[in-house]
Structure 1
Amino acid sequence: MDKEKQFKEYDKTYNKYVYSKINKNKKVLDLGCNTGLLGEALKKNKNCIVYGADYSKEAIILAKKRLDYSVVCNLEKEVPFESEKFDVIVLADILEHLKDPENLLNKIKNLLKKEGVIISCIPNVANINIRFQLLFGKWDYKKSGILDKTHLRFFTKKTMKLLFENKGYKIIKIDSTPGFEFFCLYHFKILKRIKENLCNIYPSLFANQFIILSKKNQ
């Protein structure tokens, strides 16, 4: 099986939380676009113009078929489309994979329109599952999730806010997605609302991921 077919089988969905935050008729830059599924949905359903960039050449082969413009790019070294201005820049599950996310946040400021926004998704390392594991001296990397073995940086809600504020961004809103297998709530649909309410009340403890909406300080 070639790599393009592997991506087709693996990448069958996109981040619905990010999708819901983007309005119609926007010019969007998706950094870490993977195979372009998010952008494809934005183009089809919200009439957006979508640019994408990803480190993977194989992913971009598919993204080129879905997005208006897409390039292979190492975000540790450069940012693409420097002559363009965007309404929305998406950083979905990207910053934690970089050695120097601060540098990227500095560079992409110039790509935002005056009222442009950044939508970021960052895992919550202070999630109750991780805290519970640490009580027993465990810090086991996994293939995915908060302790994904490819993560280079880890953030709590507090340090995540500082990351943006120290680089000249104003945080407009922070949403959170629930996730805590410790309580086994995933197995009981009747308890889904309890899980969501706990996440809303104590996001620093019960959130699996934060979705951050930010813009440049004027």
Structure 2
Amino acid sequence: MEQTPIHEIHNPDLLRFIPVESKKLIEIGCSSGALAREFKKISPGAHYVGVEIDADYALLAQRYCDKTTVLDIEEAGEDFWQSMSDRDCWIFGDTLEHLKNPWKTLKKIHENLPDNGSIVACIPNAQHWSLQVRLNIGDFRYEAEGLLDKTHLRWFTRQTIIELFDEAGFSIQDGCPRILNEPERDKYLPIIGEMAKLTGVDPQLAISDALPMQYVVRGIKK
């Protein structure tokens, strides 16, 4: 399947949650290498590995990564995991949702991550108000990119992101919602609140969870 279109824009919120003291980083789904480019400005001495499933993307990422590997992380053998067992920061920028089994991948990272290591991820929010509206009218159609990216295989909300990390042995230490300026949402949010009230859920919490387009989280071993 054709991959999500490549671009040269980095995610500033994801960058902000990468520990600046990280010395050996690995980014799964490094795309053009834009995030590596920006982190290298902060910590030029860090060693940054980029992993890409698309060979053309990996070639571009070589401009900024110290090393690039063309690989499907879910097909990685023990030699890969052993060679990356010194990585003190694993990065997933809108990548976990593309995996068949992100639970298994995170558990494998947990097994190989140094005790002082961390994992940083940006994950789309399946509870976003626009998806709730589209589901309500049956308009659930895959697109080239965005929340309904045709290469997405898994869907997460704030609650299930916490569960995903917890089940893999990680504790989420920090994070933030990525909320865009979407004035058109205002006419739908009260309805989302009413639905939550009917199910016995705090309507304000349901509205709050419908706002983020994505969540950025940083986890460490429990």
Matched-pair contact (CA < 8 Å) for 2:174–2:218:
yes
Partner Cα separation in structure 1 for residue 110 and residue 216 of structure 2: 19
User: Structure 1 residue 103 and structure 2 residue 104: aligned?
Assistant: yes
For the pair 1:213 / 2:218, whether they are aligned, the reply is yes
2: CA distance, partners of 1:88 / 1:171? 14
1:37 aligns with 2:42: no
Equivalent residue letter for 1:153:
R
Structure 1, unpaired ranges of 5+: 1-6, 186-199
Whether the aligned pair in 2 keeps the contact of 1:57 and 1:72 (CA below 8 Å) is yes
Contact persistence 2:125–2:147 (CA under 8 A)? yes
| Structure-2 change in CA distance of 1:29 and 1:142 (3 Å) | same
SS of 1:175's partner is strand
Q: Which has the higher strand share?
A: 1
Q: Does the 8 Å CA contact 1:54/1:73 hold for their aligned counterparts?
A: yes
Superposed CA deviations along residues 125-169 of structure 1, whole A, max 9, x for unmatched, are 111111111221221211111111110111111111111111111
Return the offset for 1:208: 0.5
The CA distance in 2 between the partners of 1:143 and 1:203, in whole Å, is: 27
Contact 1:180 1:206 in 2 (8 A): no
Q: Which residue of 2 aligns with 1:54?
A: 52
SS at match of 1:86: coil
| Secondary structure in structure 2 of the residue aligned to 1:171 | strand
**Displacement of 1:83:** 2.6
Task: Give, in whole Å, the separation in 2 of the partners of 1:127 and 1:45.
Answer: 32
Matched, 1:114 2:115: yes
Change (3 A) 1:180 1:153: farther
Structure 2: gaps (5+ residues): 187-204
Q: CA–CA distance in 2 between the matches of 1:201 and 1:153?
A: 21
* Equivalent residues of 2:124, 2:156 under 8 A apart: yes
Q: Does the 8 Å CA contact 1:126/1:156 hold for their aligned counterparts?
A: yes
1:125 is paired with a residue whose SS is coil
Q: SS where residue 154 of structure 2 aligns?
A: coil
Q: 1:65 aligns with which of 63, 72, 77?
A: 63
Compared with structure 1, are the counterparts of its residues 25 and 162 closer, same or farther at alpha carbon in structure 2 (3 Å cutoff)? closer
Larger CA deviation: 162-171 vs 21-30:
21-30
Distance in 1, Cα, partners of 2:42 & 2:169: 33
What is the alpha-carbon root mean square deviation over aligned residues? Answer: 2.4
1:3 corresponds to: none
Partner SS for 2:138: coil
What is the aligned-residue identity percentage? 28
TM-score (norm 1): 0.81
TM-score (norm 2): 0.80
What is aligned with 2:200? none
2:147 is paired with a residue of what secondary structure?
coil
- How do 1:181-196 residues align onto structure 2 when only pairs under 5 Å count? 181=182, 183=184
Query: What SS class does the counterpart of residue 83 from structure 2 fall into?
Result: coil
| Structure 2: distance between partners of 1:209 and 1:203 | 13
Q: Is the 8 A contact 1:126 1:204 kept in 2?
A: yes
For residues 148 and 183 of structure 2, what CA distance do their matches in structure 1 show? 15
2: distance between equivalents of 1:12 and 1:52? Answer: 15
Aligned pairs, number: 196
Higher relative contact order (Cα pairs below 8 Å, separated by 6+ residues) = 2
Deviation at 1:67, TM superposition (A): 1.0
| Preserved CA contact (<8 Å) 2:28 2:92 | yes
Secondary structure (helix, strand or coil) at the match of 1:142 reads: coil
Map 1:13-32 → 2, pairs under 5 A: 13-26=9-22, 27-32=24-29
Q: Runs of at least 4 residues of structure 1 off by over 6 A?
A: none
Q: Deviations over 1:37-77 (max 9, x none)?
A: 21122123322221111101111112223211111111121
